[in-house]
Each structure stands twice: as C-alpha cells, then as structure tokens.
Amino acid sequence: MTEKDLLLKKFGLIHENNGWYAHKENSHKHLIFKDVFYERSDIMSLLFRVNKLCMGKLKYFRENIYKFVPCKYHYVDGFIDVPLWDADFFKHKASGYILDFRFLQSITVFDDFVTLCNELESHE
C-alpha cells in the first residue's frame, strides 16, 4: 500500500463520482478532494486537505517540515513518532511544543498564525 492509500484508509474515505468523500455516522457525506487533486498532490497536501488546513499553513509546514516530527497520541506510550500520513500532531523539535491539527484549524486570523510561527522560531 502507498502512503496515499494508507491515508485514505485511516480517514475512511470513500471513492465515488471521481472524488473522495468522508461519511461519518450521523452526518452528511462531504467531498474531501477530487481524483485530480489526489493524483497531483503529495502526501502533505492530502493530509492538510483532510484536516481542513489552509494553503498558507501547508506552505509554512512544507518549507519547515525538517523542524517538526509527525506524531500521534497512544494511550499507553503517549506521543509517538509516526510517518507523515499517520500524523495527528507535529512536534516542534527545538521547543518540544506539540501542535494539534485541530488547534491549527482554529487559527483563522493571519496575524495569530504569524505569532505562532514567531514563537516557534524564537526557540531555534
């Protein structure tokens, strides 16, 4: 399986009408991305799209990914390093801060994101 296939499986995306859809219990089916986007995009673009993160955040993390470790939370082991396709968090290597993708979604004001970036860079 490719990383893209593993990401689709992790999020339970369903292929239908030339697109990939999320269909969760008690909610409406909604389009995550079309086949064209899926085929042309790398794993980071797909991960950010599934997590509803904007292109500005994608650009920042793509340029600075070497400063972060993708991880997820395990109830026994705590935060563990994982491949990018399986990430739910980014751990900033220099500061040790752990950024939850849901937290990144909540940042909707550009200046707030710049403040976060400046805080991270102050530890480097």
- Give the mean pLDDT of 31-60: 96
What is the per-residue pLDDT for 43? Answer: 97
The candidate with the shortest Cα–Cα distance to 65, out of 91, 40, 102, 39, is 91
pLDDT at 110: 94
- Alpha-carbon distance of 32 to 22, in angstroms, equals 7
Give the pTM. Answer: 0.92
- Rounded CA separation 106/32 (Å): 18
Q: Where are the alpha helices (DSSP H) in 15-123?
A: 35-40, 43-50, 55-64, 101-106, 110-121
pLDDT given at position 26: 82
Give yes or no for residue 10 having a pLDDT over 90. Answer: yes
Residue 28 neighbours by CB distance under 10 Å: 8
pLDDT class of 25 with cuts at 50, 70, 90: confident
Q: Which residue has the tokens 């955040």?
A: 57
Supply the Cα-derived Rg of the chain in whole angstroms.
15
Q: Identify the residue with better confidence: 1 or 32.
A: 32
